[in-house]
Amino acid sequence: MSKTALLDTVRLPQDLRALEEGELPRLADELRSELIDAVSVTGGHLGAGLGVVELTVALHYVFDTPRDKLIWDVGHQCYPHKILTGRRDRIRSLRQADGLSGFTSRAESEYDPFGAAHSSTSISAGLGYAVARDMAGEDWRVVSVIGDGAMSAGMAYEAMNNAGASGSKLIVVLNDNDMSIAPPVGAMSGHLSRIISSKSFHSVRSVGKQLSRRFPGRLKSAAERFDEYARGLITGGTLFEELGFFYVGPVDGHDLSQLVPVLRNVRDLERQGPVLVHVVTQKGKGYTPAEESADKYHGVVKFDVVTGKQAKPKPQAPSYTGVFAQALIGEAERDEKIVAVTAAMPSGTGLDKFGSRFPERCFDVGIAEQHAVTFCAGLACEGYRPFATIYSTFLQRAYDQVVHDVAIQKLPVRFAIDRAGLVGADGVTHQGSYDISYLACLPGFVLMAAADEAELMHMVATQAALDEGPSALRFPRGEGRGVDLPERGQVLEIGKGRVLREGTKIAILSYGARLGEALEAAETLASKGLSTTVADARFAKPLDHDLLRRLASEHEVLITLEEGAVGGFATQVMQQLATEGLLDSGQLKLRPLCLPDRFIDHGKPAEQLAWAGLTADDIAATALRALGYNDAPGRERPATA
């Protein structure tokens, strides 16, 4: 007999809704088992999904999805949802080329009404759906699920403030898996939640409010405050009431006998306006290795289901993130003014190591990139040397603060941009594609990119010494190139590149981590008798004008190479060449290689590099075609998006 016999009968939510309510706990157990087995094969986000198995079952059981809109925040927890919405047969293709996305995706399923891979968007999107529904005179429901961590972002409160004032009916489920808001819940709190969400309680409460309107002024306001604060004392919901939400909770998120009645009551409330259901869950629930892990198996590679041991390959070289952390610690040991700031990614950015060494000089501000940047600006005003250590894809969320609070004021905030470039299985939403373009246009910024881990150390030292204005250092995800590391990084001359290989026919000017491919391409070209120069720009701003002039005037072909979007390093180079008249003769064949002008979806890093046309073979073929070798191998870029 199948271990998932009941789950095998459920292909879509309507099949789930045909079950008896008493069968739901068994279904949840089988769903959890299927989730563990699938992620053990693919890797991905496990802990968050384990924590919402019962919640996912209850939501699809109570609400009429996809007619009712179920919007998941971030998407880390959406794997059980995917299994229940017609994608179980493809669940073992998660995060692989041409497979399922690791996040919700409108292109993937009608059960994903809103794509989400960055945090704290679900309430805003849900309110948009709710207002659109009201304007169209329709009557379906909108449910936004948001985690307690995501509630640290200002956007969530902006949305709640707007929702509370709008009067549109919106149900927000707060998935509290860190016990950060409420104490442990039990039978009494679950009982109270069922009462509070019931029609009878709501009717009595409405009558009380109507009567209170007939009271004289002071008695009226006192009665209203008593109602609000009595519920606040019982449930902790006063904050949400202040924002205009009807609060229900906390509810045990793993007890379907509590969840289903509460959600059903909330679904059937006749009141207008938003409702918040506070559900307490345990991240990693039901899988002992995840429950006992410090990060609850938030993100995993392939693992053994029985032991929980992850199949992590032995690294051949230290990771860029690890080298950055050690370099920053070294600089901070010599300079007590250096502080480090991250936005809810201490381990991902290596700042957990910095924080262990300097706990009083390390700040995790939560999912609040805008605040992180302006917080660093304030620190810089008082003479501290803040390193804002944020993934490229997340720094996008704070662009206004980068412009107004840092660049315009010429403050020496140091941006350390991890995950710059292609990021593999996390896919389109997490590619670090745009930071070169969106920072290079800002006056006064110094932009650096590390070609290897030794260069990364030098650039950390350079940033630490740079007090004249803002700077940004980008480096990729994953292992370094295995170069020898210095004892300490050396301060580089601002705006000066380096030449690693001298040639006469072709020049490859690389910015960042694709230098290895440039050197490999040069070997291929040399085997064909084509002498090739390879240079590392080091800086996109300011450019090394002397180096650029020499490469342009002494070579027939100049190729720029970067792992960033159109409008980045190559644009800076072409602007300078045009300004100096170095393109006027028409003798130079200039070929920019960058990420294609489309979104690149999830896959293995090597696959993504090939899709982008940035492999060593692609570089060599570009040079050959520029020289008129029409039979040079080329690659048709697939329309992966």
CA 504 to chain centre: 43
**With 90 as the cut, is the pLDDT of residue 452 above it?**
yes
Q: How confident is the model at residue 41 (pLDDT cuts 50, 70, 90)?
A: confident
User: Within the chain, which residue ranges are assigned CATH 3.40.50.920?
Assistant: 498-626
Task: Give this prediction's pTM.
Answer: 0.84
Structure tokens at 8: 């095998």
CB contact at 8 A, 154 and 260? no
Higher pLDDT residue, 195 or 237?
A: 237
Across the range 147-176, mean pLDDT stands at 90
Residue 590's pLDDT is 96
How many angstroms separate the CA atoms of 126 and 558, rounded? 49
How many angstroms separate the CA atoms of 289 and 123, rounded? 32
Known binding-site positions: 76, 117-119, 148-150, 177, 287, 369
Beta strands in 526-639 (DSSP E): 532-536, 539-541, 557-562, 589-593
Express each pLDDT in 471-526 by its tens digit: 999 999 989 899 999 999 999 999 999 999 999 999 999 999 999 999 999 999 99
Q: How confident is the model at residue 236 (pLDDT cuts 50, 70, 90)?
A: low
Q: How confident is the model at residue 229 (pLDDT cuts 50, 70, 90)?
A: very low
Cα–Cα–Cα angle for 374, 329, 372, rounded to 5 degrees: 15
**With 70 as the cut, is the pLDDT of residue 25 above it?**
yes
**381 CB-side CA count, 13 A:** 10
Known binding-site positions for thiamine diphosphate: 76, 117-119, 149-150, 177, 287, 369
Task: Name the 3-class secondary structure at 32.
Answer: helix
Question: Nearest-CA neighbor of 121 among 146, 149, 148, 152?
Answer: 146
User: Within the chain, which residue ranges are assigned CATH 3.40.50.970?
Assistant: 7-292, 320-474
- Percent of the chain at pLDDT > 90 equals 67
Task: Name the 3-class secondary structure at 294.
Answer: coil
Known binding-site positions for Mg(2+): 148, 177
Catalytic residues: 283, 369, 397
Question: Nearest-CA neighbor of 443 among 410, 473, 398?
Answer: 410
CA 348 to chain centre: 11
**With 70 as the cut, is the pLDDT of residue 40 above it?**
yes
Q: Which of 196-200, 307-311, 497-501 has the highest mean pLDDT?
A: 497-501
How many angstroms separate the CA atoms of 532 and 522, rounded? 6
* 230: CB partners within 8 A, 6+ apart: none
How many angstroms separate the CA atoms of 543 and 548, rounded? 8
Q: How confident is the model at residue 206 (pLDDT cuts 50, 70, 90)?
A: low
How many angstroms separate the CA atoms of 266 and 125, rounded? 20
Task: Name the 3-class secondary structure at 425.
Answer: helix
Q: Which residue has the tokens 């005037």?
A: 553
Q: Which residue has the tokens 């993130």?
A: 321
Percentages of the chain per state (helix, strand, coil), in multiples of 5: 45, 15, 40
* Phi and psi, residue 591, nearest 5°: -130, 110
CB contact at 8 A, 555 and 470? no
CA 606 to chain centre: 21
Higher pLDDT residue, 95 or 355?
A: 355
CB contact at 8 A, 394 and 150? no
Bond from prior residue into 542 cis (ω within 30 degrees of 0): yes
Express each pLDDT in 91-131 by its tens digit: 898 888 888 888 888 989 999 999 988 889 999 999 999 99
**With 50 as the cut, is the pLDDT of residue 225 above it?**
no
Q: How confident is the model at residue 204 (pLDDT cuts 50, 70, 90)?
A: very low
Bond from prior residue into 66 cis (ω within 30 degrees of 0): yes
Instruction: Indicate the fold that domain 320-474 takes in CATH.
Output: Rossmann fold (3.40.50)
Work out the angle between the directed axes of helices 187-197 and 199-212 (0-180°, nearest 10): 60
How many angstroms separate the CA atoms of 42 and 244, rounded? 42
* Phi and psi, residue 563, nearest 5°: -100, 65
**With 80 as the cut, is the pLDDT of residue 529 above it?**
yes
Radius of gyration of the chain (CA): 28
Residue 569's pLDDT is 97
Instruction: Indicate the fold that domain 7-292 takes in CATH.
Output: Rossmann fold (3.40.50)
How many angstroms separate the CA atoms of 281 and 294, rounded? 16
Residue 394's pLDDT is 95
Least confidently predicted of 423-432, 513-522, 620-629: 423-432
Mean pLDDT of the chain: 88
Q: What are the beta bridge partners of residue 539? A: 448
- Percent of the chain at pLDDT > 70 equals 88
The matching CATH number, chosen from 3.90.79.10, 3.40.50.920, 3.20.20.70, 3.40.190.10, for 498-626 is 3.40.50.920
Q: How confident is the model at residue 286 (pLDDT cuts 50, 70, 90)?
A: confident
**With 80 as the cut, is the pLDDT of residue 15 above it?**
yes
Q: List C-alpha distances in Å: 576 to 528, 561, 570, 613.
A: 31, 16, 10, 25
Looking at residue 497, the DSSP 8-state letter turns out to be -
